Amino acid sequence: MNLSRIFLLLCMLVGLVPALSLAAPANPRPVVFTQKDGSTVTIRHYGDEHYHFTKTMDGILVTGDGDGSYVYADAEGKPSSYIAKDPEKRTPAEIEFLKTLKQSEVHSKHKALNGNRFPETLAPSVIRPKALLRAYKRAFDFVKGERYFPVLLISTTDKEAFDSVDVYKKLNKKGYSVGGHYGSMRDYFIESSGGKFKPTFDVYPISLPKKFKSYDDEKTLVTAAIDMLVERNDFRLRAVKYESDCPFILMHPLSNDEACTYNEGFFSHQLSTRYLVDKVYSKNGYRFDRYAFVAQKDENTGKLNRLATIAHEFSHVLGLFDLYGVDSEGYATVGPLPFDLMALGTRNGDGRFPPTFSAFERESMGWMYLEEFFKDSTMLEPHMLEPLSKMHAYSVTNPKNGDEYYIIEYRPAVGFDSKISESEYSGIQGKNGVFVWYVNYDEAEFATNFPNHDPDHLRIDVMQVLDSKNTYYADFTFVTEKGKTDVPGIFDLKVYGDTLVCFVLSEEKGAKSCPKPKPSSIPDRQQGPAQMQILGGVLTVHIPVKGPKRLKLFDALGVCVMETRFDGESTQVDVSSWAKRPVLVQVEAGGKLVSSRLVMPR
């Protein structure tokens, strides 16, 4: 862990961009949509929350008429008076109308009217480190322990909501399996956090007193729902459990398809009330800020929306960003597509098996630490890697730039991750095994939600997936300042079922082969990762390794400034007189380095 990596942690957690809207890319699977007059048209969606558009199967741009139907876009990119139909059902008048249009020009006009829907402006806190640290501490607490979030389940006089009991079960019930799901949303976050984050989603049915059309802009819909929520006795009784500036989920009663006929911006996304009303929205003394805006209905089945879509948008509320890149049609084509919830992993198992958070995301949330590889005597020794569910992963960092590094994690095909290998998007076939991730963090591109917008320079991606047929990886190369790692690669990789992986870091003569593992060969870190922090001038170290240990502290120049010994799993050291900058903390046990972290004073 280094200073830049810690800064990544801060940026990813705190919701630094209050005006930033985040969402998953549109699902381009064809949908047969029933118009308000009872006719049907087959359509496909493209883009994401920044620019979302819809076409018929023969490429005609259509748009919502504001009243529940799709119509052809006219020459100005605006709704025409013609209800959209499939080619074989169009009348002569409709055919003649379409002949007068040049679709490329229609698309340009439509994009000018509807693109850049949610401007992405960096928050001032990005350039104010002190404010950033305060926000980080709050966000760090926010994603740990038992937490509670209100869910506003919306209905209107003409649009019925799903049964609140069914929604509650999908979000909270342990082992939820309706419709082939692996688990609930609470299960998903407990699994992804190694049990460190245990959210409960309180579902509040909100019956708005008008037709859905009356709430056809987001400000009206969201504020009307909040105004009714705060009047409820059950909300007031529970409100003490909720976070300050109460993050929430709003589920409107339509599908994405239906909602976009009323407002193109109703495509599922995450947003902040500060964007809607220029401040944190307040009512009756309660404050509401970040929220996930999602459809109750799945557009393909008409049933309760897929778990992965809701989890994706809520993960944005927690502070994570999209990791996909899109082509000119707005379709996701690059990035860790089948491998990550923040890319196209939302569709694994038809959205019922969202892949758990990567080690990158878990570290960003403060749920785990990466174990860094250094050049030392262990290069020739076998290294054991447990499944990511054990909160274990390794990193290899560019010695010249701590923002560029590789992550090695093991994902067997179990649980939420069991459908990764069945998914294929943009020519990328999902696989299970040892993932080798590449991360090249850039503050601005992550903070504006565009880490993978440049296909020639991806900021985060799965470089390779290794299994027993592909036993080595030897391309830990870096871009920045031609950094060169001392770790040549992974060699002699062996996979032992779903429980353990073994490899060495050198192919030199004398490197030991991986032994068949025994219970005693699984490292002590199975008990949990090391935890270190400097708070108020006191360094606290907790490391679940038995026996006497040696603690060494190094300054920014690599000079050892303190050395001490301790027994047990924890110790505290007063470093207030000199630790004003990041400190490299190393712990040795049994003559071996067991942990090395760069710790930032707070």
The whole-angstrom separation of Cα 388 and Cα 498 is: 11
**Cβ atoms within 10 Å, residue 374:** 16
Residue 251 tokens, joined: 């589920």
3-state secondary structure of 218: helix
Which among 469, 400, 405, 391 is positioned nearest to 436, based on CA atoms? 405
What are the residue ranges spanned by the domains of the chain?
17-138, 146-319, 358-526, 530-602
| Confidence at residue 239, expressed as pLDDT on a 0 to 100 scale | 96
Q: Which of 35-44, 114-123, 237-246 has the lowest mean pLDDT?
A: 114-123
3-state secondary structure of 98: helix
Residue 424 tokens, joined: 């294929």
Residue 368 tokens, joined: 């785990």
| Mean pLDDT within 369-378 | 72
Provide the pLDDT confidence category of residue 390 given band limits of 50, 70 and 90.
Answer: very high
Concatenated DSSP letters of 518-550: -GGGS-GGGG---EEEEETTEEEEE----S-EE
What is residue 373's DSSP assignment?
-
Alpha helices, H only, 301-384: 307-318, 359-364
Cβ neighbourhood burial of 184 (10 Å; 0-12, 13-18, 19+):
buried
Concatenated DSSP letters of 197-214: EEEEEEEEEEE-SS-GGG
User: Could you give the angle at which helices 185-192 and 164-172 cross, rounded to 10 degrees?
Assistant: 10
The whole-angstrom separation of Cα 164 and Cα 287 is: 24
pLDDT: which is higher, 334 or 151: 151
| Confidence at residue 408, expressed as pLDDT on a 0 to 100 scale | 96
User: Could you give the angle at which helices 129-142 and 3-13 cross, rounded to 10 degrees?
Assistant: 70
**Tens digits of per-residue pLDDT, 269-323?**
899 998 888 889 999 999 999 999 999 999 888 999 999 999 999 998 998 888 9
Concatenated DSSP letters of 41-94: EEEEEEE-SSSEEEEETTS-EEEE-SSS-EEEE-TTSSEEEEEP--GGG--HHH
- 68: region left, alpha or beta (phi > 0 left; psi from -120 to 50 alpha): left
**Is 530-602 a CATH 3.40.50.970 domain?**
no
Q: Which of 64-73, 199-208, 293-302, 562-571 has the lowest mean pLDDT?
A: 562-571
**Number of alpha carbons in the 13 Å side-chain half-sphere of residue 403:** 15
Question: Does residue 28 surpass a pLDDT of 90?
Answer: no
User: Could you give the angle at which helices 307-318 and 185-192 cross, rounded to 10 degrees?
Assistant: 50
Q: Which of 177-191, 328-342, 547-561 has the lowest mean pLDDT?
A: 547-561
**Is 146-319 a CATH 3.30.70 domain?**
no
CA 395 to chain centre: 20
Provide the pLDDT confidence category of residue 462 given band limits of 50, 70 and 90.
Answer: very high
Question: Percentage of the chain with pLDDT > 70?
Answer: 85
Residue 324 tokens, joined: 């996909």
Cβ pair 485, 397 in contact under 8 A: yes
Provide the Cα torsion 510, 515, 520, 521; round to 10°.
60
Cβ pair 44, 29 in contact under 8 A: yes
| Confidence at residue 348, expressed as pLDDT on a 0 to 100 scale | 95
Question: Does residue 8 surpass a pLDDT of 80?
Answer: no
pLDDT: which is higher, 106 or 165: 165
Q: Which of 127-141, 443-457, 534-548 has the lowest mean pLDDT?
A: 127-141
Which among 393, 206, 201, 204 is positioned nearest to 311, based on CA atoms? 201
What mean pLDDT is reported for the chain?
84
| Mean pLDDT within 219-235 | 97
Residue type, 112: A
| Mean pLDDT within 504-533 | 65
Q: Using the CB atoms, write b or e for 322-350: b if 16+ within 10 Å.
A: bbbbbeeebbbbbbbbbbbbbbbbbbbbb
Provide the pLDDT confidence category of residue 264 given band limits of 50, 70 and 90.
Answer: confident
Cβ pair 367, 356 in contact under 8 A: no
| Mean pLDDT within 133-144 | 48
**Tens digits of per-residue pLDDT, 347-372?**
999 999 999 999 999 988 888 878 88
Question: Does residue 531 surpass a pLDDT of 80?
Answer: no
pLDDT: which is higher, 480 or 447: 480
| Confidence at residue 9, expressed as pLDDT on a 0 to 100 scale | 41
| Mean pLDDT within 114-139 | 37
The whole-angstrom separation of Cα 417 and Cα 29 is: 23
